[in-house]
Amino acid sequence: MRFFILLFTFLFNLSLFSQVTNNKHIKVKLGIEEFIENHLDLIKGKNIGIITNHTGKLPDGRHIVDILNGNKDFKIKALFGPEHGIRGDAPDGKSLSHTTDEKTGIPVYSLYGTGNNKPTKEMLKDIDVLIYDIQDIGARFYTFQSTLFLCMEAAAEEKIKFIVLDRPNPITGIRIEGAVLDDSLKSFVGLHKIPVVHGLTIGELAKLVNEEGWLNNGVKADLIVIKMKGWKRNMWYDDTGLPWVKPSPNMMNMNTAIVYPGLCFIEGTNVSEGRGTSNPFEIIGAPFIDKDQFAKTLNSYKLKGVEFEPIKFTPTDILRVTVDPKYDSIECNGIFIHIKDRNKFEPIKTGLYILYTLKKLYSKDFKWRSPSRSTSKYFIDLLAGTKDVRLLIDEGKKPEEIMKRWEKDLQKYNKIRKKYLLY
């Protein structure tokens, strides 16, 4: 009898603990939760397509496709996968083919590396509603945004309703940094005139681009954004209580997301951005760098909220994460970027100072990544959204001089942005 009493007590306490942990820590109710609980009437009797990946989950881990599949009130006709695929396990830049979802048997159309970044008329045949549910990272060059815009265009052209299930901006919704995209530098890492750090949720971003008429030929999607509940603009992702799910294989954690908008610039150079290590974008380096000199110089600028530690590292292939990283199996000298105060940290300014210092100290060896044959444009220009970074750093200009050029465009963008804030 005593055993059963003890067992009952244990289970009761466990239940209470579970309730406390579930209720206390999760502060934000996602768009997908709101949709499932209150808005399924929007797709009743419809054939639907879902644009998603492994991040399209409820906090309890259930995936949007698994939740909606089999419901007799509507039918999932197709799935559409962005970079890294539906399950999110394809390395960065890997081309993906059309396939069938093993779990559900639903056709999966790849929108990355197939020549069709935008759904075709044939892919959308018999679809009445498209649903988008993917976690963004808050930086313009994250390709999930381009997938969103191109899918909205396709939906508008085919007169298909488009629903965005909103999710948090992990790096808050109050920061605006970096150059506004120059129209001459449009690419899959930047399609519209927004800065690198845009300060919007994915739902707000969809509304802005749609209502401002920025989609191709000025078409407008029949757009519905399902808002979150409880999210506030000053929230970092770990303030929400939601579990972290890596949006892409190298987006390891919050620290990665915080440094990414500025440190992604390193991808436009011959310096390793840390792919092939456990801390991509927090670690950068190359064989030709003097790690102690580099760290000392960067620390001398006294940049806000950050310190630089000299380190050695050796990039290697990591299964389903990184293939053929820069300096594969070669020891590199570099820095570890320690965020001391994320509220003061300025990712774009920090990234520019790193580029400035690389050029200043190692001009003989430091190089910009060569233009691709397909675009004839420097990758750093596409990432930054401007030629200013490359040209002015080559001239020896300091980051403050570079950023000053962007102020008027940022002010103009912010006026537009404020019209579409949902929170």
Q: How do residues 22-45 score in pLDDT, each as one tens digit?
A: 445 789 999 999 999 999 999 999
Indicate the pLDDT class of residue 17, thresholds 50, 70 and 90.
very low
Q: Which residue in 404, 383, 393 sits closest to 358, CA to CA? A: 393
Band (373; pLDDT cuts 50, 70, 90): confident
What's the pLDDT score for residue 239?
A: 97
- Residue-wise pLDDT for 157-171, tens only, equals 999 999 999 999 999
Residue 87, pLDDT above cutoff 80: no
Give the pLDDT score at 320: 81
pLDDT of 8 reads 38
pLDDT bin (cut points 50, 70, 90) of residue 98 is: confident
Per-residue DSSP letters for 335-390? EEEEES-TTT--HHHHHHHHHHHHHHH-TTT--BPPPPTTT-S-HHHHHHTSSHHH
Lowest mean pLDDT among 14-28, 34-48, 255-269, 367-381: 14-28
Rounded Cα–Cα distance for residues 404 and 372 (Å): 29
C-alpha–C-alpha distance, residues 380 and 384, integer Å: 6
Tell me, what's the pLDDT at 34?
98
Report residue 113's pLDDT band, with 50, 70 and 90 as the boundaries: confident
Q: How confident is the model at residue 140 (pLDDT cuts 50, 70, 90)?
A: very high
Residue 377 pLDDT > 60: yes
Q: Tokens 């927090």 label which residue? A: 282
Q: What is the mean pLDDT of the chain?
A: 92
CA distance 307 to 341: 10
Confidence of residue 105 (pLDDT cuts 50, 70, 90): very high
Res. 2 pLDDT band, cuts 50 70 90:
very low
- Residue 13, pLDDT above cutoff 50: no
pLDDT band at residue 95 under the 50/70/90 scheme = low
Average pLDDT over residues 49-76: 96
Instruction: Return the ∠ at Cα 260 (arms to 336 and 315), rounded to 5°.
Output: 50
pLDDT tens digits, 398-416:
999 999 999 999 999 999 9
Domains of the chain from N-terminus onward: 31-240 (3.40.50.12170), 254-386 (3.90.1150.140)
Q: Integer distance in angstroms from the first to the last C-alpha of the chain?
A: 55
Q: Is the confidence at residue 330, as pLDDT, over 80?
A: yes
**Residue of 85 and 93 predicted with greater confidence:** 85
Distance of alpha carbon 257 from alpha carbon 138, whole angstroms: 8
List the beta bridge partners of residue 80.
51, 109
Least confident of 85-94, 174-183, 234-243, 258-267: 85-94
Residues 199-208: pLDDT tens digits? Answer: 999 999 999 9
Query: What would the pLDDT profile of 217-249 be if each residue is shown by its tens digit?
Result: 999 999 999 999 999 999 999 999 999 999 999
Counting residues of the chain whose pLDDT is more than 70, the rounded percentage is 92
At 143, list the tokens: 């390709």
